[in-house]
A and B are shown apart, each in its own frame.
Chain A
Amino acid sequence: MGNRYAYFQGCAARQSCPELNKSTLLVAKRLGWELVTLECGACTGARDLIEAQPEMAMVLNARTLALAEAQGLETVMTVCSTCTITLRQVNKMLKENTSALERSNQELSRIGLRYNATVEVRHFLWVLIADYGLDRLKEQVKRPLSDLSVAPYYGCHILRPSDVLGFDDPDNPRSLHNLITALGGSPADFSSQADCCGFHMMTIDENRAARHAGGLLVDAQQQGADVMVTACPLCHISMDSWQPKSERVMKRKIGMPVIHVAQLVGLALGFSPRELGLEQHIIRPVEIIANYSR
Chain B
Amino acid sequence: MQSEILTVVVERYDPERDKAPRLVTYRVPRQEGMVVADVLLYLYEHEVPDLGFLWECRTRRCGTCAMRVNGHPVLTCSEPVREDMRISPLEGLPVVRDLIVDRQELQERLAPWAGETLDGSGKDARILLEPGEIAHYRALSECIDCFICDSVCPALAENAKGGPQFAGPRRLIRLEAQVQRRAEPLPWLMYAAQSNPSLCTRCFACTEECPRELRPAEAIGSLTKRLYDRHELDPHKTAHITSFVRSILRGAWLDEFRLLVDIYGIVGVAKFIPQALRMLRHRKLPKPHFGKTAQASDIQTILQDLDNRS
Do A and B originate from a single complex? yes
* Chain A residues, CB < 8 A from B286: 15-16
- Whole-angstrom distance between the alpha carbons of A33 and B41 in the complex? 57
The interface-forming segment of B117-125, B133-141, B221-229 is B221-229
Contact with B along A260-281 (1 / 0, CB 8 A): 0000000000000000000111
Indicate if the CB atoms of B298 and A201 lie closer than 8 Å. Answer: no
Indicate if the CB atoms of A53 and B307 lie closer than 8 Å. Answer: yes
**Closest-CB distance, A223 to chain B (whole angstroms):** 16
Which residues of chain B from 286 to 310 have any CB-CB distance to chain A below 8 Å in the complex? 286-287, 294-295, 298-299, 301-303, 306-309
Given A51-B225, A204-B234, is A16 in contact with B205 using a C-beta cutoff of 8 Å? Answer: no
The interface-forming segment of A103-111, A144-152, A177-185, A285-293 is A103-111
Indicate if the CB atoms of B295 and A201 lie closer than 8 Å. Answer: no
- Whole-angstrom distance between the alpha carbons of A251 and B283 in the complex? 27
**Closest-CB distance, B208 to chain A (whole angstroms):** 4
Indicate if the CB atoms of B155 and A282 lie closer than 8 Å. Answer: no
* Chain A residues, CB < 8 A from B46: none
The interface-forming segment of B15-23, B52-60, B82-90, B235-243 is B235-243
Indicate if the CB atoms of A40 and B294 lie closer than 8 Å. Answer: yes
Indicate if the CB atoms of A205 and B244 lie closer than 8 Å. Answer: no
Q: Which of A14, A40, A48, A196 is within 8 Å of B201, CB to CB?
A: A196
- Whole-angstrom distance between the alpha carbons of A212 and B154 in the complex? 9
Which residues of chain A from 3 to 47 have any CB-CB distance to chain B below 8 Å in the complex? 11-12, 14-19, 40-43, 45-47
Indicate if the CB atoms of B207 and A56 lie closer than 8 Å. Answer: no
* Chain A residues, CB < 8 A from B164: 205, 208
Asked if A140 CB lies within 8 Å of chain B CBs, one says: no
Asked if B49 CB lies within 8 Å of chain A CBs, one says: no
- Whole-angstrom distance between the alpha carbons of A132 and B3 in the complex? 40
Indicate if the CB atoms of B306 and A200 lie closer than 8 Å. Answer: no
- Whole-angstrom distance between the alpha carbons of A204 and B199 in the complex? 7
Asked if A171 CB lies within 8 Å of chain B CBs, one says: yes
Interface size class, chain B:
35 or more
* Closest B residue to A155 using CB positions: B203
Asked if A114 CB lies within 8 Å of chain B CBs, one says: no
Q: Which of A15, A46, A162, A245 is within 8 Å of B287, CB to CB?
A: A15
Q: Which of B155, B161, B208, B285 is within 8 Å of A162, CB to CB?
A: B208
* Chain A residues, CB < 8 A from B208: 159-162, 170
* Chain A residues, CB < 8 A from B260: 203
Most chain B CB within a 10 A radius of its CB, from A51, A54, A55, A170: A51
- Whole-angstrom distance between the alpha carbons of A203 and B237 in the complex? 8
- Whole-angstrom distance between the alpha carbons of A51 and B217 in the complex? 10
Indicate if the CB atoms of A200 and B225 lie closer than 8 Å. Answer: no
* Chain A residues, CB < 8 A from B224: 51-52
* Chain A residues, CB < 8 A from B294: 40
**Closest-CB distance, A68 to chain B (whole angstroms):** 14
A-B contact pairs, 25 of them (CB 8 A): A16-B284, A40-B252, A40-B294, A42-B252, A45-B244, A45-B245, A47-B221, A49-B244, A51-B222, A51-B225, A52-B224, A56-B307, A60-B299, A60-B303, A156-B202, A159-B208, A161-B217, A195-B203, A200-B201, A203-B259, A203-B263, A204-B237, A207-B163, A208-B158, A280-B282
Query: Which residues of B approach A to under 8 Å, CB–CB?
Result: 71-72, 154-155, 158, 161, 163-164, 198-205, 207-208, 215, 217, 221-222, 224-225, 228-229, 234, 236-237, 240-241, 244-245, 247-248, 252-254, 256, 259-260, 263, 275, 278-279, 282-287, 294-295, 298-299, 301-303, 306-309
Closest 10 CB pairs of A and B: A196-B203, A160-B204, A15-B286, A51-B221, A42-B252, A156-B203, A11-B254, A107-B302, A52-B228, A160-B208
